[in-house]
């Protein structure tokens, strides 16, 4: 059966009867989990199973934001803490190979955690290049301050996830690092010249343009489209994301409930798909909002369906072998126990 071009959340740690009925009728392509959905390993496993059963799709993608640092939905006492992206960029100051190895190892361990719970997509890596004076919504979530650092460590993290049977999502395309506002609360507007954006902000995404999935930035770039944020800008998606960056994977929106976007939820969903996004993402689990989102989306078809199938085909049938105890010991040694469970 076909899926609807959306990814939706649920309200709590247990799927309600109303939610199960709604998802069964709507058949979203996938789901997303947040802290409100997480209590214990057994509970999360039961929830991911229930979500997939509701739409009768054992391969349905289930997403989570497990970056480390400020952004991790799983944490103590049941799961270990992970460092923010920037911490990897500070390791082995004279040996970039060490930084790359540990960034991959950290992601491989995260994938091990997630896959054991039935979660098969992580919204990592953050490829935004932070700029001095910008809002700190990116801050230490970035792997470094240069294109080379971010592209190299972002690649390592993505490969660690894939090796562990979890798909990465590169974000926030084409770059959130210059934003002077948090798009959760306001609409950021960037005035930088196109040449500067192309040389810096776009470049990490260009380097990782072979990744299966990407998430848009709710940011207006005046040099590209001074009327619409990237998420709802046909010009930005065609000229930059699909054009200058060359990304041909599955393109999803950032959360439609963020205040950077305007209009009701039906309008937001329609505008994003009309602009060229393949899938819309709605995270907060509000049934009223989800009903409005679904009214603005369509069945996943054509090129978008092919991209969705291609993304899921990147899931490994058998994950890379991992000696967990040894991996944890090496990881903790690299950070001198600062992030030990």
Q: At what angle do helices 96-115 and 324-334 cross, to 10 degrees?
A: 140
Tell me, what DSSP letter sits at residue 85?
H
Q: How far is residue 330's CA from residue 205's CA, in Å, rounded to a whole number? A: 29
Tell me, what DSSP letter sits at residue 14?
S
Question: Which residues fall within 8 angstroms of residue 218, CB to CB, at 6 or more apart?
Answer: 172, 183, 187, 188, 229, 230, 231, 254, 258, 260, 261
Which tokens go with 192? Answer: 């930088």
- For residue 229, give the nearest of 218, 238, 240, 243 by alpha carbon: 218
- Helix locations, the chain, DSSP H: 17-26, 41-55, 85-89, 96-115, 147-163, 194-196, 203-207, 234-236, 265-275, 287-295, 302-312, 324-334
Question: What is 178-218 written as a DSSP string?
Answer: T-SS-TTTS--EE---HHHIIIIISHHHHHTTTSSEEEE--
Cite the active site residues. 184, 254
Tell me, what DSSP letter sits at residue 320?
P
């Amino acid at each position: 059966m076909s899926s609807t071009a959306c990814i939706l959340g649920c309200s709590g740690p247990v799927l309600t009867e109303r939610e199960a009925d709604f998802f069964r009728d709507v058949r979203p392509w996938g789901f997303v989990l947040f802290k409100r959905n997480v209590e214990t390993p057994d509970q999360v496993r039961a929830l991911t199973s229930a979500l997939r059963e509701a739409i009768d799709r054992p391969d349905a993608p289930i997403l989570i934001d497990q970056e480390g640092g400020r952004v991790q939905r799983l944490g103590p006492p049941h799961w270990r803490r992970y460092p923010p992206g920037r911490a990897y960029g500070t390791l082995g100051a004279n040996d970039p190979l060490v930084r790359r190895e540990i960034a991959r190892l950290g992601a491989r361990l995260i994938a091990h955690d997630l896959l054991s719970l039935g979660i098969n997509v992580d919204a990592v890596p953050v490829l935004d290049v932070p700029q001095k004076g910008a809002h700190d919504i990116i801050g230490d979530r970035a792997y470094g301050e240069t294109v080379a650092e971010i592209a190299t460590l972002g690649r390592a993290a993505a490969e660690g996830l894939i090796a562990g049977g979890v798909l990465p999502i590169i974000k926030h395309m084409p770059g959130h690092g210059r934003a002077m506002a948090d798009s959760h609360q306001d609409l950021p507007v960037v005035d930088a010249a196109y040449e500067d954006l192309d040389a810096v902000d776009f470049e990490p995404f260009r380097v990782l343009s072979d990744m299966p999935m990407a998430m848009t930035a709710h940011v207006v770039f005046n040099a590209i489209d001074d009327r619409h944020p990237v998420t709802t800008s046909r010009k930005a998606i065609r000229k930059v994301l699909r054009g200058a960056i060359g990304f041909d994977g599955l393109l999803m929106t950032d959360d439609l409930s963020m205040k950077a976007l305007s209009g009701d939820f039906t309008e937001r969903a329609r505008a994003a798909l009309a602009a060229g996004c393949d899938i819309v993402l709605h995270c907060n689990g509000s049934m009223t909002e989800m009903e409005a989102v679904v009214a603005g989306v369509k069945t996943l078809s054509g090129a978008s369906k092919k991209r969705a199938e291609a993304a899921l085909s990147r899931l490994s049938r058998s994950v890379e072998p991992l000696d967990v105890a040894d991996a944890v010991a090496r990881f903790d040694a690299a950070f001198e126990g600062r992030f030990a469970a």
